[in-house]
């Protein structure tokens, strides 16, 4: 209980810290102005989601070859947390873009890729909910996760090539467009805070999965008696 | 500044998602914790 | 090589099973035909518009049809409990997958080749001049659909709501195939037809990646 509250405090502190950096410490960008500050939320979220999905892939591989339950726990935790970060990217994008650019969505390469990733990992979690037996659930979702991850670079390249041939308005300009040192520092610190957030959420979700496993075990024991 | 409003709104939405996720995980943990207690008690009684 | 001979035997079985009833082929063709007609109501089917939307429509339709067509792949084995017998009959489980994906790819290609002339007539598109190149595009694309499709057919056979799960799992993953195939097809059907070797190379790469993954992980997909 205390740990939960402590976690929430850490979360809140991280929010406050990154908000301070983004809005007060980092200077206003030359070409885009204050709306550029969305970067301190968008890019770190996207980056953290990629890390989470990488962890998920690694956990999937480990599970298939070792069949140890803890890798399945890590896999589902990483997928869920990764999905949360991707959702943040997908939702904050339109919210920020609409008042500024008048459009909710554009099918540019980055957003489209993010959407496809969201679909892939939602499918992963959906598959898990459709597999009841724990061993089967772990094995088959891991196998799907492996295939899905192998697809990611292919999705990225195909969308990029396609978009260079059919360009769309890019809502979020490229990063590093003349990074002022204060911007660079802010960005690094925010990114560190997001990594911390990732670890915090992963840890919590992993423990939840471990608990679920002990509940199932206890239930089985109770049935035997 | 109108534009800064949209940045703020986006930030709030984003952080809301993280909070909601964290709370949902915490809630599920509480439920499971209770279930574990119940099961452990019934197992001990059964002994 | 034992793998090839095993695959050939199994492939023969798959083809024979299907051609006995031909229900898969006929149902799929009717399905695609229906969608092709329905789509004509959603845009102005002039020649320029058909050139713009046609290839995408065609490939999207094939993807939907494929996700239905791939269902029976492993479902048949599950329903009749023949999977363990199948596994015992071959030394390399990869043969089972090769046979099933070859069968699926062949059925897909057959369906597509049947649909192409109908599509050309209905939407006033010229295909004769570029027919061999089109076949190449459809061949690589169909492989791209069949390879992960067969793998996911094995996965979804284990799950609840498997009829809906297969498309949910497969379609997002096939984004690169859709993009590459549509672009290559569109280039061939355009006013100045050209063969997009870059997209074809990409498709071939996609096929290789997933064939390798299937080879590496196939035996686990067959676990019960």
Q: What is the pLDDT of residue A173?
A: 53
Contact B6 A96 (CB under 8 A): yes
Q: Is A16 on the interface with C (CB under 8 A)?
A: no
Q: Is C197 on the interface with A (CB under 8 A)?
A: no
* Residues pairing with A29 in the sheet: A33
Average pLDDT, chain C: 87
Q: pLDDT class for A169, splitting at 50, 70, 90? A: low
Contacts of A98 in chain B (CB under 8 A): 6
Q: Which residues of A61-80 are buried (b: 16+ CB within 10 A; e: fewer)?
A: bbbbeeeeeebbbbbbbbbb
* Closest residue, chain C, to A148 (C-alpha): C173
Other CB atoms within a 10 A radius of the CB of residue C132 amount to 8
| A59 belongs to a structural domain | yes
DSSP C70-108: TTHHHHHHHHHT-HHHHHHH-S-THHHHHHHHHHHHHHH
Q: Is the complex ipTM higher than 0.95?
A: no
Q: What is the pLDDT of residue C204?
A: 96
| pLDDT digit string, tens, across residues A24-60 | 777 776 666 777 777 788 888 999 999 999 999 999 9
- The rounded distance, in Å, linking the Cα atoms of A144 and A163 is 27
| A127 belongs to a structural domain | yes
Neighbouring subunits of C (3+ Cβ pairs under 8 A)? A
Q: What's the gap between Cα A172 and its chain centre?
A: 18
Q: pLDDT class for A177, splitting at 50, 70, 90? A: low
Q: pLDDT class for C186, splitting at 50, 70, 90? A: very high
Q: Could you tell me which residues come within 8 angstroms of residue A81 by beta carbon, excluding any fewer than 6 positions away?
A: A52, A198, A201, A202, A205, B21
Q: Could you tell me which residues come within 8 angstroms of residue A174 by beta carbon, excluding any fewer than 6 positions away?
A: none
> What is the rounded average pLDDT of the residues C186-212?
93
Q: What is the pLDDT of residue A172?
A: 59
pLDDT of residue C18 exceeding 90 = no
pTM of the model: 0.90
Residue C139, helix vs strand vs coil: helix
How many Cβ pairs within 8 Å bridge chains A and B? 102
Q: What is the pLDDT of residue A176?
A: 47
How much of chain A, in percent, has pLDDT values that exceed 90? 44
| A2 belongs to a structural domain | no
Q: Which residues of A139-164 are buried (b: 16+ CB within 10 A; e: fewer)?
A: bbbbbbbbbbbbbbebbbbbbebbbe
Our CA-based measurement puts residue B38 at a distance from the nearest CA of chain A, in whole angstroms, of: 10
Range of the domain at A218: 41-224
- The rounded distance, in Å, linking the Cα atoms of A158 and C202 is 8
Q: pLDDT class for A124, splitting at 50, 70, 90? A: very high
Contact B7 A34 (CB under 8 A): yes
Enter the DSSP assignment of C46.
-
Q: What is the pLDDT of residue A86?
A: 95
Q: Is C88 on the interface with A (CB under 8 A)?
A: no
Establish how many alpha carbons lie within 13 A of residue A14's alpha carbon, considering only the half-sphere containing its beta carbon. 25
| pLDDT digit string, tens, across residues C212-222 | 999 999 989 98
Average pLDDT, chain A: 86
Contacts of B41 in chain A (CB under 8 A): none
Using DSSP, how many helices (H) and how many strands (E) does chain C show?
Answer: 10, 0
Poorest-pLDDT segment among A79-83, B17-21, C189-193 = C189-193
φ/ψ of C71, rounded to 5, equals -50, -55
Contact B26 A38 (CB under 8 A): no
Q: For chain A, which residues lie within 8 Å of any Cβ of chain B, measuring from their own Cβ?
A: 4, 7-8, 11, 15, 19, 22, 33-35, 37-38, 41, 45, 81, 84, 87-88, 91-93, 95-100, 197, 200-201, 204-205, 207-208, 211-212, 214-215, 218-219, 221-222, 225
- The rounded distance, in Å, linking the Cα atoms of B22 and A194 is 14
Q: What is the pLDDT of residue A106?
A: 83
| A49 belongs to a structural domain | yes
Q: pLDDT class for B47, splitting at 50, 70, 90? A: low
- The rounded distance, in Å, linking the Cα atoms of A124 and A142 is 9
Mind spelling out the 3-state secondary structure of C10-64?
A: HHHHHHHHHHHHCHHHHHHHHHHHHHHHHHCCCCCCCHHHHHHHHHHHHHHHHHH
Q: Could you tell me which residues come within 8 angstroms of residue C199 by beta carbon, excluding any fewer than 6 positions away?
A: A161, C180, C181, C183, C184, C187
> What is the rounded average pLDDT of the residues A172-193?
71
- The rounded distance, in Å, linking the Cα atoms of B44 and C72 is 49
φ/ψ of A33, rounded to 5, equals 80, -160
φ/ψ of A29, rounded to 5, equals -75, 145
How many Cβ pairs within 8 Å bridge chains A and C? 80
The residue to which tokens 């919210």 are assigned: A95
pLDDT of residue C40 exceeding 90 = no
pLDDT of residue C134 exceeding 70 = yes
Q: Could you tell me which residues come within 8 angstroms of residue C47 by beta carbon, excluding any fewer than 6 positions away?
A: C124, C125
| A197 belongs to a structural domain | yes
Domain count, chain A: 1
Tokens at C144, concatenated = 């791209």
pLDDT of residue C146 exceeding 60 = yes
How much of chain C, in percent, has pLDDT values that exceed 70? 99
| pLDDT digit string, tens, across residues C69-125 | 888 878 777 777 777 777 777 778 888 899 889 999 998 998 899 888 888 888 888
pLDDT of residue A22 exceeding 80 = no
Contact A92 B22 (CB under 8 A): no
Establish how many alpha carbons lie within 13 A of residue C15's alpha carbon, considering only the half-sphere containing its beta carbon. 15
Q: Domain ranges in chain C?
A: 2-221
| A11 belongs to a structural domain | no
Q: Are A57 and A79 in contact (CB under 8 A)?
A: no
* Closest residue, chain A, to B21 (C-alpha): A84
Other CB atoms within a 10 A radius of the CB of residue B22 amount to 20
Testing the interface with B: which of A16, A79, A218, A220 to mutate, by most B Cβ within 10 A? A218
Contacts of C179 in chain A (CB under 8 A): 158-159, 161-162
| pLDDT digit string, tens, across residues C194-203 | 899 999 999 9
Q: What is the pLDDT of residue A179?
A: 63
């Amino acid at each position: 209980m205390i740990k939960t509250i402590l976690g929430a405090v850490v979360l809140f502190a991280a929010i406050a810290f990154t908000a301070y950096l983004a809005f007060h410490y980092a200077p206003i960008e030359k070409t885009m102005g204050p709306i550029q500050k969305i970067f301190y939320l968008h890019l770190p979220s996207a980056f953290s989601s990629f890390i989470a999905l990488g962890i998920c892939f690694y956990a999937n591989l480990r599970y298939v070859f070792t069949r140890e339950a803890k890798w399945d726990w890590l896999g589902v935790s990483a997928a869920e947390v990764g999905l949360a970060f991707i959702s943040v990217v997908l939702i904050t994008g339109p919210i920020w873009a609409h008042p500024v650019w008048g459009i909710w969505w554009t099918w540019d390469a980055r957003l489209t890729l993010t959407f496809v990733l969201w679909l892939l990992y939602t499918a992963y979690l959906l598959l898990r909910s459709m597999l009841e037996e724990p061993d089967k659930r772990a094995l088959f979702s891991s196998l799907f996760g492996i295939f899905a991850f192998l697809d990611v670079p292919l999705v990225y390249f195909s969308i990029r090539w396609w978009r260079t041939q059919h360009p769309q308005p890019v809502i979020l300009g490229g990063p590093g467009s003349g990074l002022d040192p204060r911007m660079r520092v802010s960005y690094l610190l925010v990114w560190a805070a997001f990594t911390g957030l990732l670890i915090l959420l992963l840890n919590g979700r992993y423990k939840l999965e471990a608990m679920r496993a002990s509940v199932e075990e206890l239930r089985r024991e109770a049935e035997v008696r | 500044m109108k534009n800064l409003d949209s940045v703020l709104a986006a930030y709030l939405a984003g952080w809301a998602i993280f909070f909601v996720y964290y709370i949902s995980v915490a809630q599920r943990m509480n439920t499971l914790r209770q279930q574990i207690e119940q099961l452990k008690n019934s197992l001990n009684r059964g002994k | 090589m034992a793998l090839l001979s095993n695959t050939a035997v199994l492939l023969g079985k798959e083809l024979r099973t299907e051609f006995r009833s031909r229900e898969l082929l006929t149902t799929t063709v009717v399905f695609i035909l229906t969608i092709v007609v329905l789509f004509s109501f959603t845009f102005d089917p002039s020649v320029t518009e058909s050139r713009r939307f046609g290839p995408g429509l065609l490939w999207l339709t094939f993807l939907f049809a494929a996700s239905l067509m791939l269902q029976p792949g492993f479902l048949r084995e599950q329903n009749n409990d023949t999977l363990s017998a199948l596994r015992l009959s071959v030394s390399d489980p990869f043969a089972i997958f090769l046979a099933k994906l070859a069968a699926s790819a062949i059925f897909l290609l057959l369906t597509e080749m049947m649909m192409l002339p109908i599509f050309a007539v209905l939407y006033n598109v010229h295909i004769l001049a570029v027919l061999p190149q089109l076949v190449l595009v459809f061949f690589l694309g169909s492989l791209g659909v069949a390879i992960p499709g067969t793998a996911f057919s094995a996965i979804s056979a284990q799950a609840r709501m498997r009829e809906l799960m297969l498309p949910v799992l497969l379609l997002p993953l096939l984004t690169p195939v859709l993009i590459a195939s549509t672009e290559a097809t569109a280039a061939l059907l355009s006013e100045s037809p050209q063969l997009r070797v870059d997209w074809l190379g990409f498709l071939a790469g996609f096929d290789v990646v997933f064939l390798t993954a299937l080879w590496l992980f196939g035996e686990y997909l067959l676990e019960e």
